[in-house]
């Protein structure tokens, strides 16, 4: 009689659990273990790279624009006074360049 009772309890407890549910739970745990560990490792490496990044000087970015400006003014048949206006690009002063061009006689 006791064996029948224990078997009935076991079967009723197992009714709520399916093979599909068990496999999905195991698969989800495996995926979390695989992807969860690699994300934290990448994040640590990424922080080290950011600390070593060199900041660029803004004047180094503007300096090549002087030669481009002089080439453009030469192609547009500009005079020597207009060529001198291009020197304002060396200090990233585009406003000064345009003011110089407006006040320089053609």
Task: Select from 31, 104, 101 the least CA-distant residue to 72.
Answer: 101
Predicted pLDDT at 59: 74
Digit-coded pLDDT (tens) for 39-80: 455 555 555 555 666 777 777 888 888 999 999 999 998 899
Predicted pLDDT at 60: 81
How far apart CA 2 and CA 63 sit, in angstroms, is 93
The model's confidence at residue 96, banded by pLDDT at 50, 70 and 90, is very high
Burial of 83 (C-beta count, 10 Å sphere; 0-12/13-18/19+): middle
Predicted pLDDT at 70: 92
Average pLDDT value over all residues in the chain: 75
What element of type H or E holds 46?
Answer: helix 19-51
């Amino acid at each position: 009689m006791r064996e029948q009772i224990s078997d009935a309890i076991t079967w009723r407890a197992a009714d709520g659990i399916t093979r599909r549910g068990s496999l999905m739970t195991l698969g989800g745990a495996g995926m979390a273990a695989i992807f969860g560990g690699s994300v934290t490792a990448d994040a640590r490496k990424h922080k080290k790279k950011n600390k070593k990044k060199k900041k660029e000087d803004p004047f180094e970015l503007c300096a090549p624009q002087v030669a481009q400006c002089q080439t453009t003014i030469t192609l547009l048949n500009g005079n020597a006074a207009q060529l001198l206006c291009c020197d304002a690009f060396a200090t990233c002063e585009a406003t000064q360049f345009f003011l110089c061009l407006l006040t320089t006689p053609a």
